[in-house]
Amino acid sequence: MSKTETGSPEKKGKWTRRAFIGAGVVAGSALVVGVAVRQGNPVNRLNPLLANGKDERLLNAWVKVDADNIVTAVIPHVEMGQGVYTALAQMLADEMDADWNRVRILEAPADMQYVSDSIARDFLAPDLEVPALFEPTVAGGILELAQAMGLQFTGGSYSVRATGQRAMRTAGAAAREMLVAAAASEWQVPAGEISTANSMITHARSGSSAPFSQFALAAAEQSLPARPTLKTPDKYTIMGQPKARHDIPEKVDGSAIFGIDANVPGMKYAAVKAPPVIGATVESMDASTAKTMPGVLQILNMGDFVAVVADGYWQAQQALSSIDTKYSKTEGDGLDQEAIFARYASHLDDAGEDGGDSETEEGDVAKGFADAAVKVEAEYKVPFLAHAAMEPMNCTAWVRDGKCDVWSGHQAPVKARQAAADAAGLPFEDVTYHNAYLGGGFGRRAQGDYIAMATRIAKATGYPVKMIWSREEDTAQDFYRPSATSRFRGGLDKDGRLVSWDNIHTHLFDPKDAPTVPYYKIASHKIRKVEVPMQLRFGPWRSVDHSQHGFFIESFVDELAHAAGKDGYAFRRELLADSPRHLKVLDTAAKMSGWDTPLPDKHGRGIALVPSFGSIVAQVAEVDMSGSKPKVTKVYVAADPGFVINPDGFTAQMESAIAYGLTAALYGDITLASGKVQQSNFHDYPMLRMGEMPAIEVALINGDHQHLGGGGEPGLPPIAPAVTNAIFAATGKRIRELPLAKHDFA
């Protein structure tokens, strides 16, 4: 898993049509193809990274074919359990007509040549179509932006829907066309008469047949198709198939390397502790006891944290625990949880009915509400949440002789490399970043703080140092999912139809469409936000703002249905009259669950529908309320991501997202007292236990193969409202604040 990489981006040269896709030669019959405009000529720098044979040459590689007819897919995203290696390789291999059994996978290095320009394009202009003549210019501009942002990133459920759809498929199709052209030239036959399958090229009329590798060298000399022909779904042989994940065998046999597994000769260990209040610094420390403890090598006051370096991690952590540390005062010292929500309420009150920043507005909301036969108002709250990745934050760094090596697992390798460079005071090209499997990311491993800390310690000590955060430090120093408050007013006419929707909520980060409901048919609607200062560090958390607004919106829709005297499923069906894809997903989930069949006493069903990240997901949760707390017994999931590349992998992501989202719904709650996070470990920030995991049934729908959705995040937003709506069905108790552990169900 460990990758090495040197150098910084080459001086940019003239854009050419050939540069749009980019290809290179691997001497001795091997082909390497890259996708998207890559200015300049990085071959000398990339050659030792990805094609380091004696006579090999490489240019912007996404796929290579070696002399043994092995196809290697170079994946520009990281593997953190979501199966992205396998799904992206499937997309490339299918378009190339490669033999799946002879496909290998290699993670791209932390290099500007592998920034996610496909993500940048999908984010900025997903539907932009330009003439082929101008495609290099447009793609080049997007590439420059991605490089300026260091956008080599895994997150936002972008891997398949952006990189896979725009880059990996194109790379595979381009390689296939180049191989066919090379074979046609050598055999002196029309290219249209040549077929490809299982990494073989065949001309049936002449009886000629050869492996890809035989034409790799000649193929690299062919003209590069700027827009190779992509397959239609009826031609897929690998996409859409439940292929076994590439990363599973080594995770089962223990050979997989995670960041925490880094092992460098002469390595020492560091334990760290930062001030408990954000913004504070270390004013003084009494380390007299720590200095006498065995194995302790150095004790460092780094200003914004304290570090102990020792021969072993346990020695370092025990010594750290003995240090008496005093911290500076900050404006956040007196802040507590109630004050935060009071601040939210004050800003929402000040905004009134017309204030705040408008996000979307259509129709006359005020009149619709005033004329409504039934009026419904509700306020919902969600807390701060930690990521609680199973592998705590860690990083190994070694700074010496004007160079720096870093070993870790990070969602944005270029960003991690830059963080190390800044911390070491070195140029980007003098840092080598070795990425590994991630033992959970969820957005936490998109931050560079732990990379910088380890690098600073290594620079201060001169040792190669493995820094490991304790679980307590991991919980107390997170970049949290923000807490939020959302207020709704809804109006129904005399027939129970929704005619007015007014929503105002605190802050909005990403994605911007999270609070919107364009799929629901509402005569008039208005959605606004107010910005509220927060003392805690915050960052992306699995499904980001959809994790909040999914709960808010689908809870309020259920309240409206009840006020209209209608069933929650039937009410949503009416709202989805103009959204057939969404309606099909909703109907599928309801049918799977046997929505109209009776349940035992004190049991209930709840339904929720949340489109996010290009996918549409509906869930029905069944809840047993016969005990002292809710027990979710079954979850039915219907999902339409456009087209499912790997059904097993996508299903696993739905299950994983439900586990993560259900944990948050039941227990997740980061609270402050005197500015300090009160939770520390799994005893007071509990996770879902195996015995609490519901049975899950998943149905997948291929609704639009041209517009793919994500898989890693869309399964999370519906679970909380599906559960709370089920609780209402079973008990009549309406839940408007999470987590459920706050509430008394006795």
Q: Chain centroid to CA 617: how far?
A: 17
For the chain, domain boundaries: 17-253, 259-330+393-468, 337-384+480-742
Query: Is 401 strand, coil or helix?
Result: coil
Give the pLDDT of residue 77: 94
What is the pTM assigned to this prediction?
0.92
And the tokens for 498?
């929704």
Give the pLDDT of residue 28: 36
Any bridge partners for residue 672, and if so which? 677
How far apart CA 624 and CA 723 sit, in angstroms, is 10
**In which residue are the tokens 């509430």 written?**
743
Any bridge partners for residue 361, and if so which? 526
And the tokens for 565?
């005297």
CB neighbours (10 Å) of residue 518? 13
Stated as kind and residue range, the H or E segment containing 120 is: helix 117-124
Query: Is 710 strand, coil or helix?
Result: coil
Q: Is the peptide bond before 131 cis (omega within 30 degrees of 0)?
A: no
CA nearest neighbour of 110 among 392, 411, 398, 446: 411
C-alpha distances out from residue 264 to 212, 317, 395, 470, Å? 39, 20, 12, 21
Instruction: Give one DSSP letter per residue of 176-227, joined into a string.
Output: HHHHHHHHHHHHTS-GGGEEEETTEEEETTTTEEEEGGGGHHHHTTSPPPSS
Average pLDDT, consecutive stretches of 10 residues, N- to C-terminus, the chain (746 residues)? 32 33 38 46 54 42 82 92 97 97 92 79 68 64 75 91 90 90 96 97 97 85 80 97 96 97 98 96 97 98 98 98 97 89 97 95 96 98 98 98 98 96 98 97 97 98 97 98 98 97 96 96 97 90 98 98 98 98 98 98 98 98 96 98 98 98 98 96 97 98 95 97 98 98 94
CB neighbours (10 Å) of residue 217? 18
How far apart CA 105 and CA 347 sit, in angstroms, is 51
How far apart CA 245 and CA 413 sit, in angstroms, is 22
Q: 259-330+393-468 with 337-384+480-742: one CATH topology? A: yes
Any bridge partners for residue 525, and if so which? 362, 501
Give the pLDDT of residue 20: 35
C-alpha distances out from residue 720 to 378, 508, 666, 716, Å? 17, 19, 8, 8
How far apart CA 388 and CA 284 sit, in angstroms, is 30
Burial of 324 (0-12, 13-18, 19+ CB in 10 A): exposed
Query: Is 122 strand, coil or helix?
Result: helix
* E strand spans, 449-602: 465-468, 484-492, 498-506, 525-530
C-alpha distances out from residue 307 to 114, 271, 288, 410, 601, Å? 34, 6, 14, 22, 56
C-alpha distances out from residue 547 to 64, 146, 664, 689, Å? 39, 27, 10, 21
Burial of 531 (0-12, 13-18, 19+ CB in 10 A): exposed
And the tokens for 173?
């199709």
CATH architecture of 17-253: 2-Layer Sandwich (3.30)
CB neighbours (10 Å) of residue 601? 8
C-alpha distances out from residue 343 to 70, 350, 517, Å? 60, 11, 27
Instruction: Give one DSSP letter per residue of 580-591, joined into a string.
Output: HHHHHHHHHHHH
How far apart CA 532 and CA 507 sit, in angstroms, is 6
> Using one digit for the tens of pLDDT, what is the confidence trace for 588-644?
999 999 999 999 999 999 999 999 999 999 999 999 999 999 999 999 999 999 999
CATH number for the region 337-384+480-742 comes to 3.30.365.10
Is the four-CA dihedral 187, 188, 189, 194 of positive or negative sign? positive
> Using one digit for the tens of pLDDT, what is the confidence trace for 289-343?
999 999 999 999 999 999 999 999 999 999 999 999 999 999 889 889 899 999 9
Give the pLDDT of residue 167: 87
Secondary structure of 405-447 in the HEC alphabet? EEEECCCCHHHHHHHHHHHHCCCHHHEEEEECECCCCCCHHHC
> Using one digit for the tens of pLDDT, what is the confidence trace for 10-48?
333 333 333 333 333 333 345 666 543 333 334 345 556
Give the pLDDT of residue 118: 76
How far apart CA 211 and CA 97 sit, in angstroms, is 11
Tell me if the domain spanning 259-330+393-468 has CATH number 1.10.580.10: no
CA nearest neighbour of 418 among 37, 147, 12: 147
Instruction: Give one DSSP letter per residue of 283-314, joined into a string.
Output: EEEE-HHHHTSTTEEEEEE-SS-EEEEESSHH
How many residues in total does the chain contain?
A: 746
Any bridge partners for residue 612, and if so which? 615
